[in-house]
């Protein structure tokens, strides 16, 4: 292009920029900027408008004891999304159940009005009518038969404030220790194991230990299905350090076993033989850490102290070659596993119900702890015995508050006069208020209902009609008592036997603290209004306290007020979490106790200098729960289960969870994708056993034990060991717990769900 005749300078005859030119240039520039700003503004508005989530709120998953931090996405007052919280301990990982939390608050069949049984049917009632009836029945029973004629049966799914208030109301108000709950069914053995070994309950380690362990000893646990974020963390460790060894001890070839390096399929009920045999190998082959033992360990036969030589002598009966036949694991594998356990740079044991729900549950827990103590695999990153818990608040809500029949807050015991006196002082009640009689544990309580010695029971947030062993027997027992149930859904097995049913708020419809498996307290804030007339369990308890004349005792009436009372009480114990305030919980991603001051970062590893505020400077490691500051290694003999297989009942029944369902399925089974995935619970049987019994896939079969009979559909599965059958307990239609034995551990009183001798046969449909 030629420039001839175009240049305005030539046309104007001037080389200077005119005023007009400046204005035009500025105008164009201004227009361009305005257009850009308008476009940007429009873009911001459009992006904002198209956001599927209006606001994100920090919360905690409602389901298992992993206690995953989640972010709840809200829009227009509804939950529209839930994601794993990347800043929480679970590092953003949740499972399929947690991912379905948006559906949880919309499940069908919510209980929205109180109901009273009239002429055999539950009919709607007002809160006042229902609570007046409950209070009059409780008062009448207490007046006529004494305080021990009433009971509270709670749950590891209540908020801490609720369990704490119930415990206080019944023990310091009504004056009965008949306070127990479903945690008795799942982790009582872990608690008694820790208390006996370390002098204090709750694990010494934390989930983060999985990031450092080189050997995972997974014993009687199936974290792939039951605690998926924990297993994902284990797999992540394996990905980053491929030499990491995962050992799984389980009669079944579970999904966890399938993803492990070594699977030891023990015969149900015999695994204390394995632990003692491993200890034998460790002691005989020079794998014990004598320095750690010398500094931090004491030996005991359960009655009196002894020494390492006595321990070694005791273990000679458990040499691998002596136990392999009964245990079902070769001596070679026992030696191999013992060596890896002892010699890995850091070994982390994880266990759940396979160890806890046993008549030798406490012994198994003791010995798991002992393996770590004799090898020094403890109090270092990655080296720890870790009992994984099943419910979101069994640890914080029940174990820590002492909401069990034998215990009082912060590890105190009902049977200890000093402990009772301490709590009477802290609760500001007259001396002698707390009964010295240990209350009924779960099985004993339901037997007391059956016998008629307990006349009225309040059941919150749990479904014993399905979860109790020998369930048929205890369902009938509930009918002999004035049973009050607060629940979130209609038609649970328990409600069928209740006289009054109260609608309870669920998850983010109320506020409170939960304490998950690694001593971490986390706050669930209220984001929704409960449906209909549903109330929080705390409101129900406060109302009952007022009506029973204990309003002066239960002065803390909001979740935060209860929490403040509780954290101040903790200051007088080794649990001390006075520094965990609501303000901090709202801001931080949970805190692990001990955490005595508002500045304390919490304690990831207990008994370790520099981490645990109770360990003296220069001590390094100090098991301060015991008088001599040493942990105790017990000599725990193997005793066969009372459910040893016989000619009449030649097969072992074990039960457990599946990935998609939590507990009795009252919540998860109402979420359609989880319901579809779980399907009806079936009787899993090894094809070899099925062949002998003439059973084919999907045949109707009968499982019969001394305790009851159930019928269901057979599923042939190589995951099930020969000589054993498995069924999950989420399905009320199968209700496998009717056939499960109600034997229990003499110390922890936890029933042995994992071992029941049964017969299995094909039946006509």
Tokens in use for 759? 């017969």
Per the CB < 8 A criterion, the answer to whether 586 and 525 are in contact is yes
Burial 141-155 (b: 16+ CB within 10 A, else e): bbeeeebbbbbbbbb
User: Residue 415 carries which DSSP code?
Assistant: T
User: Total residues contacting another protein (rule CB under 8 A)?
Assistant: 49
Within 101-160, the residues that bind another protein by CB under 8 A are 102
Q: Which is nearer to another protein, 50 or 304 (CB)?
A: 50
End-to-end Cα spacing for the chain? 95
Question: Cα separation of 261 and 389, whole Å?
Answer: 24
Tokens in use for 321? 């070659």
Identify the CA nearest to 274 among candidates 323, 315, 311, 222. Answer: 323
* Ordered DSSP codes for 700-762: EEEEE-SS-EEEEEEEE-TTSPTTEEEEES--TTT-GGGSS---B-TTT--B-TT-EEEEEEE
Per the CB < 8 A criterion, the answer to whether 484 and 459 are in contact is yes
Question: Cα separation of 6 and 10, whole Å?
Answer: 8
Q: Does 647 bind another protein (CB under 8 A)?
A: no
Provide the minimum distance between the beta carbon of 688 and another protein in the complex, in angstroms, as a whole number.
24
Q: Which is nearer to another protein, 2 or 119 (CB)?
A: 2
Residues 208-247, mask of contacts with another protein (x by CB under 8 A): --------------------x---x---x--xx-------
Provide the minimum distance between the beta carbon of 203 and another protein in the complex, in angstroms, as a whole number.
23
Q: Does 16 bind another protein (CB under 8 A)?
A: no
Provide the minimum distance between the beta carbon of 591 and another protein in the complex, in angstroms, as a whole number.
16
Q: Which is nearer to another protein, 16 or 303 (CB)?
A: 16
Provide the minimum distance between the beta carbon of 436 and another protein in the complex, in angstroms, as a whole number.
50
The one segment of 22-30, 183-191, 477-485, 536-544 that binds another protein by CB under 8 A: 22-30
Q: Does 38 bind another protein (CB under 8 A)?
A: no
Q: Does 93 bind another protein (CB under 8 A)?
A: yes
The one segment of 47-55, 114-122, 146-154, 453-461 that binds another protein by CB under 8 A: 47-55
10 Å CB burial of residue 436 (0-12, 13-18, 19+) is exposed
User: Residue 621 carries which DSSP code?
Assistant: B
| Residues contacting residue 34 through CB under 8 Å, at least 6 positions apart | none
Provide the minimum distance between the beta carbon of 598 and another protein in the complex, in angstroms, as a whole number.
21
Tokens in use for 336? 């191999």
Q: Which is nearer to another protein, 90 or 360 (CB)?
A: 90
Provide the minimum distance between the beta carbon of 32 and another protein in the complex, in angstroms, as a whole number.
9
Q: Which is nearer to another protein, 50 or 627 (CB)?
A: 50
Provide the minimum distance between the beta carbon of 587 and another protein in the complex, in angstroms, as a whole number.
13
Q: Does 345 bind another protein (CB under 8 A)?
A: no
Residues 63-92, mask of contacts with another protein (x by CB under 8 A): ------------------xxxx-xx---xx
Identify the CA nearest to 485 among candidates 504, 469, 513. Answer: 504
Per the CB < 8 A criterion, the answer to whether 744 and 752 are in contact is yes
Provide the minimum distance between the beta carbon of 363 and another protein in the complex, in angstroms, as a whole number.
35
Q: Does 51 bind another protein (CB under 8 A)?
A: yes
Work out whether strand 305-306 and strand 150-154 pair parallel, antiparallel, or are unpaired: unpaired
Q: Does 94 bind another protein (CB under 8 A)?
A: yes
Q: Does 28 bind another protein (CB under 8 A)?
A: yes
Tokens in use for 465? 């009609």
Identify the CA nearest to 664 among candidates 491, 484, 492. Answer: 492
Q: Choose which of 677, 700, 719, 722 interacts with another protein (CB under 8 A).
A: 677
Provide the minimum distance between the beta carbon of 229 and another protein in the complex, in angstroms, as a whole number.
8
Per the CB < 8 A criterion, the answer to whether 154 and 398 are in contact is yes
Q: Which is nearer to another protein, 100 or 371 (CB)?
A: 100
Q: Choose which of 30, 33, 34, 44 interacts with another protein (CB under 8 A).
A: 44
Question: Cα separation of 180 and 399, whole Å?
Answer: 10
Tokens in use for 599? 């500045």
Per the CB < 8 A criterion, the answer to whether 188 and 162 are in contact is no
Q: Which is nearer to another protein, 8 or 568 (CB)?
A: 8
Q: Choose which of 201, 660, 731, 745 interacts with another protein (CB under 8 A).
A: 660
Binding site for another protein (CB under 8 A): 1-2, 4-9, 11-12, 17, 21, 24-25, 28, 40, 43-44, 46-47, 50-52, 81-84, 86-87, 91-96, 98-99, 102, 228, 232, 236, 239-240, 659-660, 673-674, 676-677
């Amino acid at each position: 292009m030629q420039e001839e005749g175009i240049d305005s300078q030539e046309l104007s005859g001037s080389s200077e920029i005119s005023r007009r030119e400046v204005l035009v240039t500025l105008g164009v520039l201004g227009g361009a900027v305005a257009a850009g700003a308008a476009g940007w503004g429009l873009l911001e508005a459009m992006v904002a408008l198209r956001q599927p989530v209006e606001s994100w709120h920090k919360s905690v998953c409602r389901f298992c004891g992993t206690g995953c931090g989640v972010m709840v996405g809200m829009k227009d007052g509804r939950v529209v999304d839930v994601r794993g919280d990347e800043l929480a301990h679970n590092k953003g990982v949740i499972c399929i159940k947690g991912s379905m939390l948006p559906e949880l608050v919309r499940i069908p069949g919510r209980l929205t009005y109180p109901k009273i049984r009239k002429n055999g049917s539950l009919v709607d009632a007002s809160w006042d009518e229902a609570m007046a009836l409950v209070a009059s029945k409780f008062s009448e029973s207490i007046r006529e038969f004494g305080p021990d004629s009433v009971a509270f049966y709670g749950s590891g799914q209540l908020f801490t404030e609720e369990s704490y208030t119930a415990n206080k109301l019944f023990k310091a108000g009504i004056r009965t220790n008949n306070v127990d709950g479903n945690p008795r069914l799942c982790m009582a053995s872990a608690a008694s194991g820790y208390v006996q070994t370390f002098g204090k309950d709750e694990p010494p380690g934390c989930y983060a230990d999985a990031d450092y362990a080189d050997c995972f000893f997974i014993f009687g646990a199936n974290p792939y299905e039951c605690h998926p974020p924990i297993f994902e963390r284990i797999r992540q460790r394996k990905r980053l350090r491929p030499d990491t060894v995962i050992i799984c001890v389980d009669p079944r070839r579970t999904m966890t076993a399938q993803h492990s390096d070594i699977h030891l399929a023990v015969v149900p009920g015999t695994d204390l033989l394995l632990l003692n045999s491993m200890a034998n190998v460790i002691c005989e082959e020079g794998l014990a850490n004598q320095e750690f033992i010398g500094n931090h360990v004491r030996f005991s036969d359960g009655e009196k102290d002894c020494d390492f030589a006595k321990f070694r002598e005791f273990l000679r009966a458990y040499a691998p070659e002596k136990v392999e036949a009964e245990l079902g694991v070769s001596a070679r594998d026992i030696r191999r596993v013992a060596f890896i356990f002892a010699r890995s740079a850091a070994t982390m044991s994880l266990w759940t119900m396979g160890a806890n729900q046993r008549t030798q549950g406490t012994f198994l827990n003791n010995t798991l702890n002992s393996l770590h103590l004799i090898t020094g695999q403890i109090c270092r990153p990655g080296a720890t015995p870790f009992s994984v818990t099943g419910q979101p608040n069994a640890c914080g809500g029940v174990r820590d508050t002492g909401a069990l029949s034998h215990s009082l807050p912060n590890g105190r015991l009902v049977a200890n006069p000093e402990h009772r006196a301490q709590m009477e002082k802290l609760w500001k009640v007259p001396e002698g208020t707390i009964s010295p009689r240990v209350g009924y544990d779960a099985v004993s309580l339901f037997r007391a209902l059956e016998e008629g010695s307990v006349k009225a029971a309040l059941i919150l947030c749990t479904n014993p009609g399905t979860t109790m062993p020998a369930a048929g027997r205890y369902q009938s027992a509930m009918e002999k008592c004035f049973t009050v149930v607060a629940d979130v859904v209609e038609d649970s097995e328990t409600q069928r036997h209740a006289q009054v049913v109260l609608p309870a708020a669920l998850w983010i419809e109320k506020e409170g603290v939960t304490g998950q498996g690694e001593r971490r307290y986390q706050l669930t804030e209220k984001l929704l209004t409960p449906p209909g007339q549903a109330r929080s369990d705390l409101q129900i308890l406060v109302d009952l306290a007022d009506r029973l004349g204990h309003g002066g005792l239960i002065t803390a009436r909001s979740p935060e007020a209860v929490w403040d009372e509780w954290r101040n009480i903790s200051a007088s114990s080794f649990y001390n979490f006075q520094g965990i305030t609501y303000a901090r919980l709202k801001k931080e991603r949970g805190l692990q106790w001990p955490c005595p001051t508002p500045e304390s970062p919490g304690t990831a590893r207990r008994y370790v200098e520099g981490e645990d505020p109770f360990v003296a400077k220069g001590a390094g490691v100090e098991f301060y729960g015991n008088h001599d500051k040493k942990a105790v290694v017990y000599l725990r003999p193997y005793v066969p289960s009372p459910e040893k297989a016989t000619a009449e009942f030649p097969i072992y029944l074990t039960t457990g969870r599946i990935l998609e369902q939590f507990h009795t399925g009252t919540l998860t089974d109402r979420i359609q994708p989880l319901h579809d995935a779980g399907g009806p619970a079936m009787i899993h049987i090894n094809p070899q056993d099925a062949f002998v019994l003439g059973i084919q896939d999907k045949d109707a079969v009968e499982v019969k034990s001394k305790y009851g009979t159930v019928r269901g559909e057979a599923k042939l599965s190589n995951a099930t060991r020969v000589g054993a059958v498995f069924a999950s307990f989420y399905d009320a239609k199968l209700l496998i717990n009717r056939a499960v034995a109600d034997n229990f551990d003499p110390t922890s009183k936890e029933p042995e769900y994992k071992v029941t001798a049964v017969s299995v046969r094909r039946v006509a449909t």
